[in-house]
Structure 1
C-alpha cells in the first residue's frame, strides 16, 4: 500500500527528474503502459513521453508544483497539482500554468505513474 510519504517522495523525484531530464529516473517512475494526454490533447505512450527528454528537445527551467491534492485508491493514488512551467521545446521558449492529474500505482514495490493528463490554464 502506498503511503502519503511514498507519494510525496515519488512526486518530488518526478519533479526533479523532469527538471534535469533524468531519463533513467523518469523511466523508473513511469509505467511501461503509461498513457499521457498532453495540454494539446495528444496521447503519448511512455517512449513518446521520454523522447524529448532523451533528445534534448525539451529543457525545463522552472517546474513549481502547488495546490496538490491526493485521493487514495485501493492500489494507488490520484494526485492533482497545479504547475508553473517554463523552458524550451525544440529551441522555442515557453511558459505557462497547467494542471496535471496523475494516477500512481504500486508496481514491483515501487510507485509508478500509469496515466496522466495535462490541462493548460488560461
Structure 2
C-alpha cells in the first residue's frame, strides 16, 4: 500500500468497511488513531477493529459522494466526504447519511488514517 494514491486507499477502505476486512482495516488505520464518533465518543483503533470483529458494525451499503482530497504537505492529506450508510449497529438496522473527515499521514513510507470525525447529516425539517 506504499505507492497507492489516497483515492485508491479510500476505495480500499470503503470495501474493507463493507466486508469487515480486519486485515485491511488494521493496515489502513494508525495504531494511535483518534476518531470522534457522531455521538461525541472518542474512539481508537482497537475499538474500531473490535466493532467489526464482534459484529457490532455490519454495513450493507456504503455509498460515497462529494469526496474531496486536500493535501496539506507531502505526508498529510485530509479527506472529506459524504456517505450514505445502511446496515446494523448493535443489532439495530439503520440507514443514515454522514459527513466524514479523515486525516491520512504518511509514516515510514506508508499512508494510514491517524485521526478523523464523523457527523450525522440531519435533514433540516427534522431539527424542529
**1:88 maps onto 2:111 in alignment:** no
The gaps in structure 1 that reach 5 residues or longer are: none
**Root mean square deviation of aligned Cα:** 1.4
Q: Tell me by how many angstroms 1:57 deviates.
A: 1.8
How high is the TM-score relative to the length of structure 1? 0.93
TM-score, normalized by length of structure 2? 0.89
Task: Give 5+ residue unaligned stretches, structure 2.
Answer: 123-128
- Alpha-carbon shift at residue 110 of structure 1 (Å): 1.8
| Corresponding pairs, count | 120
Is residue 20 of structure 2 the alignment partner of residue 21 of structure 1?
Answer: yes
Kindly indicate whether residue 76 of structure 2 is the aligned counterpart of residue 76 of structure 1.
Answer: yes
- Once the two structures are superposed, the pairs formed by residues 95-110 of structure 1 within 5 Å of their partners are 95-110=95-110
- Partners of 2:56 and 2:99 in 1: CA distance: 22
